[in-house]
Amino acid sequence: MRAFLIVPGDARTVAAAMASDAHALIVDVTGLASPAFFPERRQGAPLFYLRSHDLERDLPAMMAAAPHGIVLPRCEGARDVMRLGARLAVEEAMQGLTDGATQILAFIETARGALALHTLADAGERLVGIAWDAAAMKAEVGAPTARDRAGGLSSPLAQVRALVRLTAAAARVTAIDTPCLPGGDLAGEVESARDDGFEAKLVLEPDQAGFVREFSGRCQG
């Protein structure tokens, strides 16, 4: 089980995250003027994905950092992935980057995105992973809680999670489970994700990344 660590884009936080046990960092750079502060990436360091809630404005600056990939927030189907892929091709050409090198991680955070998941099975070679966000989906469907009375995911959220896993299998990309909500059972969620075939989990703290790696190692042993 791999950990994808979500962090804000300030220099100190990014530097600390680079030293974590995360497989990949997802750095939120919304509104940042320049990515020049990002530390030099050494061999064996986490993969480096950038996220912005305003890709239209921020993508050129994001691509100047030559990230491994770009997060597509609120993805609502293959057309969104292909549209971003076309923009990445232009930016790669303009900035002297290898054509096709920049990957896409699709985040499912809306009802439309959940209903269009099946289209991602044929979204193109740039798509390397599909993640979902339980907190965003809870707000989207207007549910007061993400959990049912038995402690499991509520029915709408459980359906989204299952569709993410199935779609990732069909597309042959990485299935990435939602972050553990505050007060949640991280160990239980990691075990459940592993049992359901998820290859990775979103985490919000460096120590969670270390826990995911250590727990997965114990389970495999």
**CA 81, CA 103: separation in Å to the nearest integer?**
10
Contact 126, 86 (CB under 8 A): no
Across the range 111-124, mean pLDDT stands at 97
**CA 134, CA 131: separation in Å to the nearest integer?**
10
**DSSP state, 85?**
H
Q: Helix, strand or coil for residue 105?
A: strand
User: Domain range holding 213?
Assistant: 2-220
pLDDT tens across 152-196, in order?
888 999 999 999 999 999 999 999 999 998 778 899 999 999 999
**Taking the mean position of all CA atoms in its chain, how far away is CA 218?**
24
Q: Count of H helices and E strands in the chain? A: 8, 8
Burial class (CB in 10 A: 0-12, 13-18, 19+), 50: buried
CA dihedral 10, 47, 180, 195 (to 10 degrees): 180
**CA 155, CA 178: separation in Å to the nearest integer?**
15
Nearest to 86 by CA among 31, 123, 58: 123
pTM of the model: 0.92
**CA 2, CA 139: separation in Å to the nearest integer?**
27
In terms of residues, how long is the chain? 221
pLDDT tens across 70-79, in order?
999 999 999 9
For the chain, what is the domain count?
1
Question: In the predicted model, what is the mean pLDDT of the chain?
Answer: 91
Q: What is the CATH number of the domain that holds 147?
A: 3.20.20.60
> Does residue 41 register a pLDDT over 70?
no
